Amino acid sequence: MSFSLGRISGITIRIHYTLLLFLILVVWSLAVGYMPQQYPGLPQGSYWMIGAASGLLLIISVVIHEVCHSIVAKRFGIPVRRITLFFLGGVSELPEEPRDPNVEFKTAVAGPISSFAIATILAILWYYSMTAGHPPELAAILQYGASINGALGAFNLLPAFPLDGGRILRSTLWRLSGNMVKATRSAAKVGIGISYLMMFGGFTIAILGGFFSGLWVIFIGLFIRSGAESGLSQTIISQALAGTTVNEIMTRDVTTVDSNLTIEELVDEYFLRKKHAGYPVLKGGTVVGLVTMEDIKDIPKNRWSQVTVGEVMKPLRRVATVEPEVSAADVMYKMSRMGVGRVLVMKEGNLLGIVSRRDLTHLIHVKTELMQ
């Protein structure tokens, strides 16, 4: 669940709802706890203003951090679909992995460099505001911005894949071994190891009395472990699909059904006798839609002999379609985004074939076995 914040350098920025919950927590903790201790004597309203401004500065800092990753990636020819901001940072959605370890290193290091640069600038401004006698509210915001950006840069340099430090580690191992998948496996193992250390440390902190602090550290550890496992899986899938187009994997001998067929005939002659769970629908020799088992579930069985396929099918405008030149990776992304199990391969209105999730899974399995 996320919503669009806008576009920067042609990249869509989206905010996940967890970031909003985290932002509320940050504003509250700054206004009620941290800022009154650091800057006592201010009106209560000032603390809430400081908290809100600091929270906004945190989001801006994370956006800059991720945009710097994306700008470097785009400079090296890697497209960036979008950036999604979560409560623990941001994720740049790349349809493909870096092509060589040098690109990986430069893309990964761009984020921490930007965070440290922001921290340095804000620290200088904070020092100037203190010596120039500016309002303490401004000094508080600048101090928080400097410290949080320094912490953001340092945290991301942990050699825990998929954090930036873990990607830097992967680029180094990749350069040494010449094998990206092997380097990713090793970096992911390091990331998982660090995550377990963090969870153990958080558990210890919680036992010793710092319950909420310990719980927070445990949560970060779980996040890193999950990220390492999903990052490894994503790399394996990306490498397995690399260089393969729809034209190479699609099923060309496509079984179709006529729009005038009844649901009863569809079930008896196709769903029960054949292996497919969905069929392109033709009307007068032209593809007009797609029918799947999901489309007939809500139709009472006593009406199956009366209702036709054309009445329950998804019309072609709502069906996922691709051209044969599209990459297998893009097809998988499209299936995931649209929540479908198959796409029709079309060219100038003609049906050339069909690609199912099973086809992609088989390709990934075979390629993965060969990469072992």
Mean pLDDT of 195-208: 94
Minimum mean pLDDT range among 41-50, 246-255, 361-370: 361-370
Final residue of a domain: which of 128, 157, 186?
157
CA pseudo-torsion sign 5, 8, 12, 16: negative
Whether 56 is covered by a domain: the verdict is: yes
Final residue of a domain: which of 110, 131, 157?
157
pLDDT of residue 368: 79
pLDDT of residue 307: 95
Supply 239's token pair: 């490498």
**How confident is residue 86, by pLDDT bands cut at 50, 70 and 90?**
confident
pLDDT at residue 323 tops 70: yes
Q: What is the pLDDT of residues 295-317, one digit of tens each?
A: 998 899 999 999 999 999 999 99
**How confident is residue 371, by pLDDT bands cut at 50, 70 and 90?**
low
If asked whether residues 150 and 275 sit together in one domain, one would say no
Tell me how many domains the chain contains.
2
Q: What is the CA 114 to chain-centroid distance, rounded?
A: 21
Q: What is the pLDDT of residues 183-193, one digit of tens each?
A: 999 999 999 99
Q: What is the pLDDT of residues 273-295, one digit of tens each?
A: 988 889 999 999 899 999 999 99
Report which of 341, 166, 353 is spatially closest to residue 246, judged by C-alpha positions.
353
Whether 229 is covered by a domain: the verdict is: no
Whether 192 is covered by a domain: the verdict is: no
Final residue of a domain: which of 157, 191, 211?
157
If asked whether residues 153 and 252 sit together in one domain, one would say no
Average pLDDT over the chain reads 90
Whether 361 is covered by a domain: the verdict is: yes
Report yes or no: 215 and 306 within 8 Å, Cβ to Cβ: no
If asked whether residues 150 and 255 sit together in one domain, one would say no
pLDDT of residue 287: 94
pLDDT of residue 233: 86
pLDDT of residue 118: 97
pLDDT of residue 1: 67
If asked whether residues 16 and 140 sit together in one domain, one would say yes
Residue 361 belongs to a domain with what CATH number?
Answer: 3.10.580.10
Transcribe 267-285 into DSSP letters: IIIIITTSS-SEEEEEETT
* β-strand pairing of 314-315 with 321-322: unpaired
Whether 174 is covered by a domain: the verdict is: no
3-class secondary structure, 163: coil
pLDDT of residue 372: 61
Whether 150 is covered by a domain: the verdict is: yes
| Choice between 87 and 335, residue whose per-residue pLDDT is larger | 335
Whether 220 is covered by a domain: the verdict is: no
Whether 238 is covered by a domain: the verdict is: no
Mean pLDDT of 343-350: 92
pLDDT of residue 155: 93
pLDDT at residue 141 tops 70: yes
- Domain range for residue 29? 2-157
Report yes or no: 235 and 368 within 8 Å, Cβ to Cβ: no
- What percent of the chain is modeled with pLDDT above 70? 98
If asked whether residues 250 and 120 sit together in one domain, one would say no
Model pTM score:
0.77
Q: What is the pLDDT of residues 103-135, one digit of tens each?
A: 999 999 999 999 999 999 999 999 999 888 888
